[in-house]
Structure 1
Amino acid sequence: MKNRNLSRFAVPVGVIGIIVMMVVPLPTFLLDLLIALNITAALLILLVSMFVQKPLDFSVFPAILLVATLFRLALNISATRLVLRDGDAGKVIHAFGSFVVGGSLVIGLVIFLILIIVQIVVVTKGAERVAEVGARFTLDAMPGKQMAIDADLNAGLIDEAEAKKRRAEVAAEADFYGAMDGGSKFVKGDAIAAIIITVINLVGGFTIGMMQQGMSPADAMNHYSLLTIGDGLVSQIPALLLSVATGLIVTRSATSGDMGTSVSQQLSQNKLALRIGGGAALALCVIPGLPKIPFLLVGATVLIIAQRVKDPEPEVEVVAAEADRPSPDSPDQLMGEMRVDPLELALSPDLVDLVDSGGGDLLDRVRALRRKMALELGIVMPPVRTRDDLDLPLSSYAIRISGIDAGTGQAPPGTVLAIGDGLQALPGRAGVEPVFGLAGKWVPQELHYQAELSGATVVDRASVIITHLAEIVRGNASRLLGREDVRALTETVKRSHPVVVEELTPALLSLGQIQRVLQGLLDEGVPIRDLVRIFEALSLRAKVSVDHDGLVEAARAALGPAIAAQYTAHGRLSVITLDPILEQGLLESLRPSETGAFMAIDGLKAEAIVSEAGHLVEGAEQQGLSPVLACSPQLRLPLMRLLRAGSKKLQVLSYSEISGSTAQIETMGVVNGAYAGVA
């Protein structure tokens, strides 16, 4: 805890101390200590910038750059005060002025100017340009990265926590490069300030030495100029280190390790290049006048390194022997070709790039979709066989269930689907979103930013296919639930609730009967995740009757609150009801059959019910609501079949299912069976 508090207050206290240094004179010993700290800190920052894995690992660098620049300027001011007041600025500055530059004013000025030129013209200018371009490109790429995160989230490839983390990383990256764009200006301004401070110190020291200290012009120039140059060198060496650190941070690209490891691996990955370079260095020895030993040492060293570099392992092609290949007429081979995959995604040849290991992520999204469907529907989606199909038209795909096309669509290579209005100015060809039937346009991928600026929603090809596949799976979940799947689900429940399973099967219901019930629930859009509650309800109902419709209704009654919650929005459940007289008449018209109960009513009455229900649904949808039709439990299934036959996508719930809901019931209308004059 003490260390945490110390770290928390160290920077604010340090910044306040820097401000104090600018106005309060420092003793020479303390100035020497702070100069040593400045040089060491600059070297440490340079080393850290080399060893970070990626720029965001050193996200505090722009703030450190500002504080370090301010600290260095405070040292300049403190040293200037001591030089002009006492003619002495400590041992460090005196050593740099006397020993490093040999006590020569000309040498000191030349070295100081060279450091300034290298820092401003080479390092700082380049780092400033790279930071500016990096900030611009990062900001331009933000919408695309955010869309990619949203697409992965919608496809189930990542969860909400991972999506939130990635969004934070995208925002942090933009903030970092924006801060680096401004931080590079600090380095440039510091170099310019160093030149001005040095000129002021030279003129001021020469004037003070002659007018106040009574020195001769030569002595004043020699004494104060060497101190000034020493001060300039002491400040510019750390400044140069920070400039190099700035350049290293903003020029780091995507690598898997630190800078030293990456440079070593990438420069030594080509053995031939090292051999040619070493041979060229040795060849320079034959040029008359050139010293032989330096080029011999360098060339021999490079050749030795080349010998120690391992050759890349060639790609091993596994070729099966002809004798091991099964005969195309063998029973196993024929059975394999006869097998029909439960779920298949066929792609035209020009869409194979979506599943290439070099960049296509469609297969990863398919795997993530299986997990999403398991959590959403309660079934384990069968593996999706993805293959190319030469019979498909170019740029098209087909989703097949048991070998039969369940959905087709388009996904032209190199394009994205823009959905919205105002796309006439963009090139491309018309397209349709396969799930909701929304009109759009397939525009070139490089124009997706322009499409977004036009107000359109832009979706990549893989997301279009995955969304379509997910909708096909939802609509055909009952067909994908096989007997083996039911057995696996039952075994899973048995491990946690053995009594529930032992009571139900095989004593009361077979696996086939359980499968039919689960398929009936899936057909009506009811998830079967809560298998324990479903099995308990089936056990109670099966002791009375094993009628399929009764078993489905018993399971639905047990899942009533969860079913009603699917259609609840903002705590309200919009409901359409039946006129009591009409409902009583329909109950009296029920007749049993081998395929389930049905309503023995005339066609005009059935048409009136379907028409009036459709009219009420349209009115509710105009208000942005999705209503359900409520009726008696005995009437629910026959009425749902009637509405489906009339192509009305209206969910029918029984009173027992709605009664368990905590939502507020809002009545949207009453069906009396006499709409539009039909009796």
Structure 2
Amino acid sequence: MKTKDIAVLAGIIGIVLMMILPIPTWLLDMLLVINISLALMILLVAMNSKEALQFSIFPALLLITTLFRLALNISTTKLILGQGNAGSVVATFGSWIAGGQIAIGFIVFLILVVVQFIVITKGSERVAEVAARFTLDAMPGKQMSIDADLNAGLINEQQARERRSKIEREADFYGAMDGASKFVKGDAIASIIILLINLIGGFIIGMTVHGLAFADALSTYSVLTIGDGLVSQIPALLISTAAGLIVTRASSEGNLADDITGQLFTYPTLLYIVAFVIAMLGFFTPIHIITTLPLAGLLAFSGWRMQNNLNQKQVAEEQMEEEQQIEEVRSPESVINLLQVDPIEFEFGYGLIPLADNQQGGDLLDRIIMIRRQCALELGLVVPVIRIRDNIQLRPNEYVIKIKGNVVGGGELLLNHYLAMSPGYEEESVTGIETTEPAFGLPALWIDEVTKDRAELAGYTVVDPPSVVATHLTELIKKHAHELLGRQETKALVDNLRENYAALVDELIPSVLSIGDIQKVLAKLLREKVSIRDMVTIFETLADYGTYTKDPDVLTEYVRQSLSRQITQQFSQKGETLRVITVGPGLEKKIAESVQQSDQGSYLALDPASTQSVYQKLTEQVNRLIQSGQQPVVLTSPTIRMYLRQVIERTMQDIPVLSYSELEPNVEIQSVGVVNL
């Protein structure tokens, strides 16, 4: 055994022997001072503990100190009744409190006992009981929280084990405190009984054995009894207070001094209010201003100092934050942050700042919210957050739109003008600055407020600059939607579908197709502006045909056929005839013969001369339809649709190519042109 183990055992045995063996007065004085010192040390440790488990030995220490105090009471009782002298410590406390007036000494001692028994001890006992009950009730929930964090990967097994151990130790601690608080209550009751024994027994023994007069016996034994009670009750009061502090620190994160200064004096303005009230008491009540003004001045000065300290602390924190940012920029690791590329960026010159400034009436942010909602409804795509920033490298009225860091569009705006697009004929009375509409490349004019009404009456389409930007941004997002849909975005769409169609998703992923396979199919649909909002139909089709082929081009064709109603409504209004450019049998045969098979799938190997001929003839037909105000649509057989699309998508990406199986049987089709070889 170690030396400290032997010392603790010897101390416990010594406490027990004190109840039996007589103790000289000099040793008793020393033990009483040790008792007071030990109680004061326990109180200070309890005040500086940040959490209860930092003083987990307190329940056992509470029992030992209570036993030690009772042993001292027994020893002082033996000396008081046997010799009429219990040492200098007891006599000093008794004469100091009594002060020559025994009645006052008794009253003060009784008040101290009442405070100890009813207020401190009773309150600590109740708090310990409630804390133990709530700690035990909360254990299952805390255990489940730890298991959830472990399963989610937020903590490892070692951290989970440590947290479980801490919960168990907290439950044991509060349970032990609940039981140990009963010893404090019993000690308070025992002190009252010992007081009566010392007082009554002292009177009887003093007058019968020692032959003292009644007045002498009353004076001697009253002082000794009061002194003995105070010597035992003051340490008991300190330890009871420590017990209350320990069990009431459940929601604290610092020691007592930190909590008091950090929470009670958090608001310096309140000190000014208290100082004002105290000063008013001195001016308008019989309380003299000599008493109130110094205190009011001290409170006001404290509030001023605290406000200055808070301001200095805030400035220091801001400086430290700036220094940390500078250090992060200087550190080699900060370069990794430069690799982050925003999906969509909108940059503009300083002259267009009013577009995005709400205080200047700009509503660009609100329009972007509506654009994201519109794309979600029309394409079924969740558009990522659009980064908006000014760029001093651009011209004042210039803006650019970037997709993944690359410029895909831009233009210039005149904020105090309107963009007017001609209805097909020019009106001489409508004059302005010639320009090009950025979204569709149409010729247009920038006109002022005075010309706006005249242009509208002449049939011009007139829009304001924010609408021009919103339209341009919307068209570019639709055009590049397939670039914005990656595997992570596909995973989010799959998770959303899983909430209501878990069986469908589980059947398809990952046994039939992977997230990457599905992403390729969805991107191909978006590339041709086919909405992917109907994810249920898309997944049903992929689940049906994914077991036969993994070729994304073939799977896309199957999905397009399943979305025939949607595609038909997209290009043909109800009751209207769909005018199309059809592919002749010669071209279909030529394309079918040029399809080559490989390990990666099929591809089209059309000779350059035939390709150039297709471009030329299709361009003629498309331009003819555009000039007549009709939307050009190419219609072909299902077997060659995707290959014909591959031929024309480089030069005619916006021209839709449909197959017969993608149109509903009830739609009326009219061929207005034929492309053939």
Task: Return the index of the structure with the highest Cα Rg.
Answer: 2
2:3 paired with 1:6: yes
Deviation of 1:105 after TM superposition, in Å, equals: 1.9
2:490 paired with 1:403: yes
Aligned partner of 2:495: which letter?
G
What RMSD, in angstroms, separates the aligned Cα atoms of the two structures? 3.8
> What do residues 42-95 of structure 1 show as CA deviations (whole Å, max 9, x unaligned)?
001001111111111111111111111110000000000011111110010011
Deviation of 1:115 after TM superposition, in Å, equals: 0.7
Partners of 1:242 and 1:273 lie apart in 2 by 34
Aligned equivalent of 1:292, options 289, 301, 304 = 289
Partner of 2:403 in structure 1?
334
TM-aligned CA distance change 1:233 to 1:410, over 3 Å:
farther
Partners of 1:410 and 1:8 lie apart in 2 by 63
Q: Matched residue of 1:309: which SS?
A: helix
Partners of 1:136 and 1:302 lie apart in 2 by 42
Aligned partner of 1:69: which letter?
T
Aligned partner of 1:334: which letter?
I
Deviation of 1:290 after TM superposition, in Å, equals: 1.0
Partner of 2:265 in structure 1?
268
Partner of 2:195 in structure 1?
198
Q: Matched residue of 1:296: which SS?
A: helix
Q: How many residues of Structure 1 are paired with residues of Structure 2 in the alignment?
A: 371
Question: Do the aligned partners of 1:93 and 1:230 also contact (CA within 8 Å) in 2?
Answer: yes
Aligned partner of 2:402: which letter?
Q
Partners of 2:11 and 2:505 lie apart in 1 by 60
Partners of 2:114 and 2:180 lie apart in 1 by 19
2:21 paired with 1:21: no
Partner of 1:49 in structure 2?
46
Aligned partner of 1:248: which letter?
L
TM-aligned CA distance change 1:476 to 1:27, over 3 Å:
farther
Aligned partner of 1:333: which letter?
K
Partner of 1:512 in structure 2?
none
Question: Do the aligned partners of 1:66 and 1:186 also contact (CA within 8 Å) in 2?
Answer: yes
Question: Do the aligned partners of 2:487 and 2:516 also contact (CA within 8 Å) in 1?
Answer: no
Q: Matched residue of 2:494: which SS?
A: strand
Q: Matched residue of 1:220: which SS?
A: helix
Q: Matched residue of 1:333: which SS?
A: strand
Partners of 1:435 and 1:176 lie apart in 2 by 52
Partner of 1:179 in structure 2?
176
Partners of 1:101 and 1:148 lie apart in 2 by 59
Aligned equivalent of 1:210, options 207, 216, 219 = 207
> What do residues 566-599 of structure 1 show as CA deviations (whole Å, max 9, x unaligned)?
xxxxxxxxxxxxxxxxxxxxxxxxxxx9479xxx
Question: Do the aligned partners of 1:49 and 1:249 also contact (CA within 8 Å) in 2?
Answer: yes
Deviation of 1:148 after TM superposition, in Å, equals: 0.7
Question: Do the aligned partners of 1:96 and 1:234 also contact (CA within 8 Å) in 2?
Answer: yes
Question: Do the aligned partners of 1:399 and 1:408 also contact (CA within 8 Å) in 2?
Answer: no
Question: Do the aligned partners of 2:490 and 2:515 also contact (CA within 8 Å) in 1?
Answer: no
> What do residues 644-670 of structure 1 show as CA deviations (whole Å, max 9, x unaligned)?
xxxxxxxxxxxxxxxxxxxxxxxxxxx
Partners of 2:486 and 2:163 lie apart in 1 by 31
Aligned equivalent of 2:390, options 320, 325, 341 = 325
Deviation of 1:12 after TM superposition, in Å, equals: 2.2
Partners of 2:486 and 2:49 lie apart in 1 by 46
Partners of 1:258 and 1:38 lie apart in 2 by 24
Partner of 2:36 in structure 1?
39
2:141 paired with 1:123: no
Partners of 1:480 and 1:237 lie apart in 2 by 78
Partners of 2:191 and 2:502 lie apart in 1 by 62
Aligned partner of 2:78: which letter?
R
Partner of 1:74 in structure 2?
71
Aligned partner of 1:403: which letter?
T
Deviation of 1:103 after TM superposition, in Å, equals: 3.3
How is 1:220-235 mapped onto 2 (pairs within 5 angstroms)?
220-235=217-232
Partner of 1:219 in structure 2?
216
Deviation of 1:13 after TM superposition, in Å, equals: 1.9
TM-aligned CA distance change 1:285 to 1:138, over 3 Å:
same
Question: Do the aligned partners of 2:127 and 2:247 also contact (CA within 8 Å) in 1?
Answer: yes
Aligned partner of 1:136: which letter?
R
Question: Do the aligned partners of 1:39 and 1:237 also contact (CA within 8 Å) in 2?
Answer: yes
TM-aligned CA distance change 1:403 to 1:332, over 3 Å:
farther
Deviation of 1:332 after TM superposition, in Å, equals: 5.3
2:132 paired with 1:135: yes
Long gaps (5+) in structure 2: 323-347, 354-388, 409-484, 521-597, 602-677
Question: Do the aligned partners of 1:400 and 1:407 also contact (CA within 8 Å) in 2?
Answer: no
TM-aligned CA distance change 1:154 to 1:82, over 3 Å:
same
Partner of 2:141 in structure 1?
144
Aligned partner of 2:91: which letter?
H
Aligned partner of 1:325: which letter?
D
TM-aligned CA distance change 1:332 to 1:233, over 3 Å:
same
Deviation of 1:289 after TM superposition, in Å, equals: 2.1
TM-aligned CA distance change 1:186 to 1:161, over 3 Å:
same
Aligned partner of 1:291: which letter?
H
Aligned partner of 1:406: which letter?
V
> What do residues 475-533 of structure 1 show as CA deviations (whole Å, max 9, x unaligned)?
95887999xxxxxxxxxxxxxxxxxxxxxxxxxxxxxxxxxxxxxxxxxxxxxxxxxxx
Partners of 1:400 and 1:329 lie apart in 2 by 34
Partner of 2:300 in structure 1?
303
Please report the TM-score for the alignment, with normalisation by the length of structure 2: 0.50
Deviation of 1:409 after TM superposition, in Å, equals: 6.9
Deviation of 1:255 after TM superposition, in Å, equals: 3.1
2:83 paired with 1:86: yes
Aligned partner of 1:274: which letter?
L
Q: Matched residue of 2:496: which SS?
A: strand
Question: Do the aligned partners of 1:97 and 1:103 also contact (CA within 8 Å) in 2?
Answer: no
Deviation of 1:403 after TM superposition, in Å, equals: 3.1
Partners of 1:37 and 1:15 lie apart in 2 by 14
Question: Do the aligned partners of 1:66 and 1:183 also contact (CA within 8 Å) in 2?
Answer: yes
Question: Do the aligned partners of 2:494 and 2:505 also contact (CA within 8 Å) in 1?
Answer: no
Partners of 1:249 and 1:15 lie apart in 2 by 24
Question: Do the aligned partners of 2:94 and 2:223 also contact (CA within 8 Å) in 1?
Answer: yes
Partners of 1:432 and 1:95 lie apart in 2 by 85
TM-aligned CA distance change 1:101 to 1:436, over 3 Å:
farther
Partners of 2:497 and 2:11 lie apart in 1 by 64
Partner of 1:550 in structure 2?
none
How is 1:442-521 mapped onto 2 (pairs within 5 angstroms)?
none
Question: Do the aligned partners of 1:409 and 1:434 also contact (CA within 8 Å) in 2?
Answer: no
Aligned equivalent of 1:110, options 107, 115, 125 = 107
Partners of 1:205 and 1:73 lie apart in 2 by 19
Partners of 1:61 and 1:436 lie apart in 2 by 57
Aligned equivalent of 2:153, options 143, 152, 156 = 156
Deviation of 1:40 after TM superposition, in Å, equals: 0.5
Deviation of 1:291 after TM superposition, in Å, equals: 2.6
Aligned partner of 1:68: which letter?
T
Partners of 1:76 and 1:119 lie apart in 2 by 17
Partners of 1:333 and 1:133 lie apart in 2 by 61
2:317 paired with 1:248: no
TM-aligned CA distance change 1:329 to 1:59, over 3 Å:
farther
